[in-house]
Structure 1
Amino acid sequence: MSKLFQNYKRLDIEFVKAKGSYLIDSQGKKYLDFSSGIGVTNLGFHAEVKNALERQVGEIWHTPNLYQNSLQEEVADQLIGDYDYLAFFCNSGTEANEAAIKLARKATGKQEIIAFVNSFHGRTFGSMSATGQDKIKEGFGDLLPHFNYAIYNNFNSVKELVTQETAAVMLELVQGESGVLPAEPSFVRKLATYCRERGILLIVDEVQTGMGRTGQFYAFEHYGIVPDIVTLAKGLANGVPAGAMLGKSHLGIAFNYGSHGSTFGGNKLAMAAASVSIAIMKKNGFLDIVQKHSRILLEELKKALANKNSVVEIRGLGYMLGIETTGDLIKLVEKAREKGLIVLTAGMNVIRLLPPITLTKEEIQLAVSILKEIFD
């Protein structure tokens, strides 16, 4: 009998080895991983990340944030590039979103935050309060006040909620957990303009969409906007726990000495993994190949599943794809796993695909053939 809380529904499979895009279980069976550990190992199990961790653990693996940390400065510089941001490091997406909420409130002196129905921002009380899904909140009592929820891709629904006390609007550019629903470009651009004109901070949650997942380094680059605050995690350190919040430099005064912190945030091991992961993604031509191959995956899926009665729609952005189906979701996922393909679910009726962004054409063809088989 397990000594663990039963808050996870665990399958009777344990992965004990991994290489590239593949996982190997304790029985020696090999699987093509189209989940990336829920969007985490964006580069697959990459040798350069492994080597960076081994080098760092041979030197020093932790120092507190009472001292200088050149690795944090290095990763901050890589993340910021030509943008006018400052970075704060933490350990997860929910922590990054918590920091964003705190920064928005403290910087503006206002408390109201507009999020969206069916959004997901995390499971701490602040990030859970921003989440627009009741099932995430059930049983935990009163949440934080001053959060309201607009309708995704509906600009007027945002305007109707804005008051003099609105500090920020917080959104995902692809709602992942609720069904892989991309934001419409015209909606995003209109929202960004409106927020800028009204002095409302725009927070973009890139926990799942960032780090090359959509074919751009940040998903907001598809939309031609620059948010005031960006949150990152998942693929940031390619499987080592790491999160980050980027905020416009003029907001820096709000996070003054002692205002916020994280004991493990910016840990040496996490930063070593993050630095090499970002360097790989920013190599000349890397993201061009990601965009090209992700388009091939989408095209091949649409071709292979075009005549399947139970397939309603295939949608997404880059390597963040959803197959909406009227079929039995649990059975479909189980059949894929039996054939050696690991996939995820989203919402009530969507197979979610989050493969490594380093997929080869051969791996794409293998996954498509398995998905075609299970829908047959």
Structure 2
Amino acid sequence: MDGAGVVRWRATGTVRSLVWDGEDLVDRVDGGRRWTSDGVEHLSGRVYAYPFDRAVVSPSGRYTVAYTERGTKALLLDGRRIVRELDRSYYHAKDFDYPVALGALSDGREVLVHCPETYEVIEVEDVATGERLTHGERTPTDVFHSRLAMSPDGRRLLSAGWLWSPFGIARVYDLEQALTEPAALDGEGLLPSWSWANAEIEAACWLDGDRLAVATGEDEDEDAEADEGDPAVLGPRQLGVWSMSERRWLHRHRVGLPMGTLIGHGRTVIALCAYARLIDVASGAVLAEWPEVEVSPRVGSYGVRHVPTPVAALHPDGSRLAVAQPDGIAIITLPQPASSPP
């Protein structure tokens, strides 16, 4: 153990994805390489010929998509069995993160969400059968979708992508509506653009089925600074919490450092940028930080110079965070907040 609440496990090679399986950790990109609860590494004996470097896992743990963050190829896996190959458009693929998510709809069906034909059109497929669920006329806008994430209740979809300039944005879509009206996945969606119009969105994540945490970057527009006094608008270098049901910012706070990659953790977010921090979303206060757990300084979903996204996994019970390190895995024991309203 080094530092308060940090344990390190060794790895024989680069850790490219992490998911908790009970008290074990698994790297699905590496064919199921596993670290048991005693920190001992167990190799899978399976190697993919293509250089996949990231993975997402379905809520049940059954399905995996292994993909190349800045490439066009991916694999859909059922356990260790290859179901089929996936693709995305080559257009600027080397400049922004592969848009893909696995999740469960409100009726329990697990689905694959990705952009298989063009960068601006999101499709939803039944992961078990491969059936496309979004058939119909589409009216896409020129959005580079990225960092797709379904809400925990399966009702909504987040896309933290960008517009040509480039400029980071966020879109939220109604998945239930999209199953009958696929064009609901096009356009502005449920997060109004006026709510953050003068601030570039660098990161976003779900806190629960209703609340969305959003982090913005700096803005050279002098008028943007005035938005900090407007409770309806998220200004530059702020962390905000948007309520989908109330259609307003519940909290907005100025933050001094880039948020990088966000992971929702109840009334807090974990920010991964250069190192790990735990931030209270209601006050904007840093509750804990671990500068000894270094991660990439990645900000946003796009960039000509590729800085890889940090690899991390929050334990389902919220007690621990596993973070990939150059020589293994750091496991952080998270402080548990006192009981209070969100």
The verdict on a shared fold, with TM-score over 0.5 as the criterion, is no
The structure whose residues are more often helix, as a share, is: 1
Q: Normalising by structure 2, what TM-score?
A: 0.27
Q: Looking at CA atoms only, which structure, 1 or 2, has the larger radius of gyration? A: 1
Instruction: Between the two structures, name the one with larger relative contact order (CA 8 Å, sep ≥ 6).
Output: 1
The structure whose residues are more often strand, as a share, is: 2
Q: Normalising by structure 1, what TM-score?
A: 0.26
